[in-house]
């Protein structure tokens, strides 16, 4: 687990969330692309599935990803028309 600091005072799930967001920003996962499931991410990072799940929950609440039961977890396209319409009424 090299990307997540072992001696940080920040909660581990927030460190995982930041790392996953960095991967999305770097283009590892494009908008609309599926990201690895919780089990694969937990194995890759050497942490519990619950910690990964909590990080993904945070990302979903911030509308960075979308989870679809039985289908997977997908990166949300922040430039889509859905977001343009949602924020066009704010003034």
Would you call 57 exposed, middle or buried from its count of C-beta atoms within 10 A (0-12, 13-18, 19+)?
middle
How far, in Å, CA of 74 to CA of 7, rounded? 30
Helix 38-45 / helix 49-61 crossing angle, nearest 10 deg? 120
How far, in Å, CA of 84 to CA of 22, rounded? 23
Domains and CATH numbers, the chain: 12-88 (1.10.10.10)
> pLDDT per residue over 1-11, tens digit each?
445 656 678 99
DSSP-derived 3-state class of residue 54: helix
Instruction: Report pTM.
Output: 0.78
Show Cβ contacts of residue 12 under 8 Å, excluding neighbours closer than 6 positions. 4, 47, 51
> pLDDT per residue over 15-50, tens digit each?
999 999 999 999 999 999 999 999 999 999 999 999
């Amino acid at each position: 687990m090299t990307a997540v600091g072992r001696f940080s005072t920040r909660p581990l799930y927030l460190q995982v969330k930041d790392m996953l967001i960095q991967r999305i920003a770097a283009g590892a996962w494009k908008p609309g692309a599926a990201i690895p499931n919780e089990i694969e991410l937990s194995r890759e990072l050497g942490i519990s599935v619950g910690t990964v799940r909590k990080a993904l929950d945070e990302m979903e609440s911030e509308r960075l990803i979308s989870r679809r039961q039985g289908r997977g977890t997908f990166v949300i396209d922040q430039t889509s028309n859905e977001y343009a319409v949602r924020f066009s009424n704010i003034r």
